[in-house]
C-alpha cells in the first residue's frame, strides 16, 4: 500500500500538483512531496484508526482541492481501497464490541449509502463484497487495472546476467531448483505451507525475501522448518531491493497466501517470465490462469494439492512452457496502468470539487442592484 501511495504522489507532482502526505509513520516520501506526521497514540488499532481520522479531518478541512486516502477515513473524496469490508457482526457480543463498532464506523463512512467517496478497487471481487455488505452503488466504484511498475521488469539480457550473478553469490548451481517466496508477513502469506512442501520436494531450495529472518523465531516457523529438516534449504535474505534480480535467479514463485487482495509479486513474476504457483485467495491469481503460466490452488487450501503442484513443477520442460506463456501474456496485457488511472480519478475529483466551490461562491454572491 505504501508503495502505491508514494507512486501516486510522485505522478501527481510530475503533473504539476502540490501534494501533502499525512501519515503516522513512513519510510520516506518522493521529492517535492510534503510529509506531515500526525500524532496517533492509542492502545488498540481501531482507536488509532479513529483518532487518525479525526486528526485528518482537522488537518485537511478547507485546505485542499481533493483529499484521497489509502485507509478508510470519513469525508474522503477518493479512497484507494486495498482492504475488504469487515465481517458482519453475527452475535450480540460482536455488535457491542468496541473494536467491531469502530471499524464499522470507518467502513460506513466510505461505503455506506450516505457516503460520496469515490472508491478505487484493486480486484473484481471487492466490488461484489461492498455491494453485498453495504449496498454500495456501482457508480461509485471502479476496479483499477494492475499497478505493476515497469521499473520492476528486466530485459532478457539483464535477467540472464542477474540469474548468473545471484546464483554465484548464493552458491547455487546453474541447474539447482530454486523457489522464491516474497512476503512482508510470512505467516499470512503461507511460509508454513512452503516449508511443508519443501519436505515433499527434496531437490528444491527456497529464497525467502521481504521479512526480518528473526521473525521465524517469533512465530514458530523456524521450529517448523527444523522439525521438517529443511532449515538449511531456506535461504533467508531479509528485506532487499533486489526483487527483480531474485526473480530472474529463481525457477518458480511460490505464493500460497491465505489472504491477498492483489498479490503484486505475482505480476512481477509473470512480467519477468517466472512461473507461479499460488492460491485462489490472491486477487491477481486469475492472471496466472489466463496466462497459462503456473497453477492456482482453488477452493479451500489443501496441502496435498499444493505439494502435488510443486512436484509437477520439477519438470523443466513444463516450467519452460510456463515461462514463455508468462512473457507472452505480459507483452500483450495491460499490467501497468493502475496507478496512472488512480491519478486521473484523483484529478477528476479535484475538478469536480473546484466546480462545486465556484458554483457555491456564485450562489452566495449578492445580485447586482437593478
Top-level class of domain 150-327:
alpha beta
pLDDT at position 370:
45
pLDDT at position 42:
63
- What whole-number distance in Å separates Cα of residue 163 and Cα of residue 322? 18
> Are 277 and 313 in contact, with CB atoms under 8 Å apart?
yes
pLDDT at position 248:
97
Give tens-digit pLDDT for 74-128. 899 999 998 877 777 778 877 778 778 878 888 899 999 899 999 999 988 899 9
* Better pLDDT: 1 or 243: 243
Judge residue 239's burial from the number of C-beta atoms within 10 Å of its C-beta, 0-12 exposed, 13-18 middle, 19 or more buried: exposed
Q: Which of 48-52, 190-194, 215-219 is modeled with the greatest confidence? A: 190-194
Strand 234-238 with 204-209, pairing: parallel
Give tens-digit pLDDT for 130-177. 999 899 999 999 999 999 999 999 999 999 999 999 999 999 999 999
pLDDT at position 31:
86
> Can you tell me whether residue 260 is helix, strand or coil?
strand
Mean pLDDT of the region 23-32: 78
| Cell numbers that stand for 120 in this block | 478505487
In the predicted model, is pLDDT for residue 29 greater than 90? no
In the predicted model, is pLDDT for residue 261 greater than 80? yes
| Cell numbers that stand for 172 in this block | 547455487
Helices (H), 272-337: 285-291, 303-312, 316-332
DSSP class per residue in 19-74: EEEEES--S---TTEEEEEPP---SSHHHHHHHHHHHHHHHHTTT-S--EESS--T
CATH H superfamily, domain 2-145+337-353: Glycogen Phosphorylase B; (3.40.50.2000)
Give tens-digit pLDDT for 198-239. 999 999 999 999 999 988 888 899 999 999 999 999 999 999
Q: Global pTM? A: 0.86
Mean pLDDT of the region 13-34: 87
In the predicted model, is pLDDT for residue 26 greater than 90? no
Give tens-digit pLDDT for 316-354. 999 999 999 999 999 999 999 999 999 999 999 999 999
Place of cell 510530475: 14
Beta-bridged to residue 81, according to DSSP, are: 121
- What whole-number distance in Å separates Cα of residue 218 and Cα of residue 220? 6
CATH 3.40.50.2000 placement within the chain: 2-145+337-353, 150-327
Amino acid at each position: 500500500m505504501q508503495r502505491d501511495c508514494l507512486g501516486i504522489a510522485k505522478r501527481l507532482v510530475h503533473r504539476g500538483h502540490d501534494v501533502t502526505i499525512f501519515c503516522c509513520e513512513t519510510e520516506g516520501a518522493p521529492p517535492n512531496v510534503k510529509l506531515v506526521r500526525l500524532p496517533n497514540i492509542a492502545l488498540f488499532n481501531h482507536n488509532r484508526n479513529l483518532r487518525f481520522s479525526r486528526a485528518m479531518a482537522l488537518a485537511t478541512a478547507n485546505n485542499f482541492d481533493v483529499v484521497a486516502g489509502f485507509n478508510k477515513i470519513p469525508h474522503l473524496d477518493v479512497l484507494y481501497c486495498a482492504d475488504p469490508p469487515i465481517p458482519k457482526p453475527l452475535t450480540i457480543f460482536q455488535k457491542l464490541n468496541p473494536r467491531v463498532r469502530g471499524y464499522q464506523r470507518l467502513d460506513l463512512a466510505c461505503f455506506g449509502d450516505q457516503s460520496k467517496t469515490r472508491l478505487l478497487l484493486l480486484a473484481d471481487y471487492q466490488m461484489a463484497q461492498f455491494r453485498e455488505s453495504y449496498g454500495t452503488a456501482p457508480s461509485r466504484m471502479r476496479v483499477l487495472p494492475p499497478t505493476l511498475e515497469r521499473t520492476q521488469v528486466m530485459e532478457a539480457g539483464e535477467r540472464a546476467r542477474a540469474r548468473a550473478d545471484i546464483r554465484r553469490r548464493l552458491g547455487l548451481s546453474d541447474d539447482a531448483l530454486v523457489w522464491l517466496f516474497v512476503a512482508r508477513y510470512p505467516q499470512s502469506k503461507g511460509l508454513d505451507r512452503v516449508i511443508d512442501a519443501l519436505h515433499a520436494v527434496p531437490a528444491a531450495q527456497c529464497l525467502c525475501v521481504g521479512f526480518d529472518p528473526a521473525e521465524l523465531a517469533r512465530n514458530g516457523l523456524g521450529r517448523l522448518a527444523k522439525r521438517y529438516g529443511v532449515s538449511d534449504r531456506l535461504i533467508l535474505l531479509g528485506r532487499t531491493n533486489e526483487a527483480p534480480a531474485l526473480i530472474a535467479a529463481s525457477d518458480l514463485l511460490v505464493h500460497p497466501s491465505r489472504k491477498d487482495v492483489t498479490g503484486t509479486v505475482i505480476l512481477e513474476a509473470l512480467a519477468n517470465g517466472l512461473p507461479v504457483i499460488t492460491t485462489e485467495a490472491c486477487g491477481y491469481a486469475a492472471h496466472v490462469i489466463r496466462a497459462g503460466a503456473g497453477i492456482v490452488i482453488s477452493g479451500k487450501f489443501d496441502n496435498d494439492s499444493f505439494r502435488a503442484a510443486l512436484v509437477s513443477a520439477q519438470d523443466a520442460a513444463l516450467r519452460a512452457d510456463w515461462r514463455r506463456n508468462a512473457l507472452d501474456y505480459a507483452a500483450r496485457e495491460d499490467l501497468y496502468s493502475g496507478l496512472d488511472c488512480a491519478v486521473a480519478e484523483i484529478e477528476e475529483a479535484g475538478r469536480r470539487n473546484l466546480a462545486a466551490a465556484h458554483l457555491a461562491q456564485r450562489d452566495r454572491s449578492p445580485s447586482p442592484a437593478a
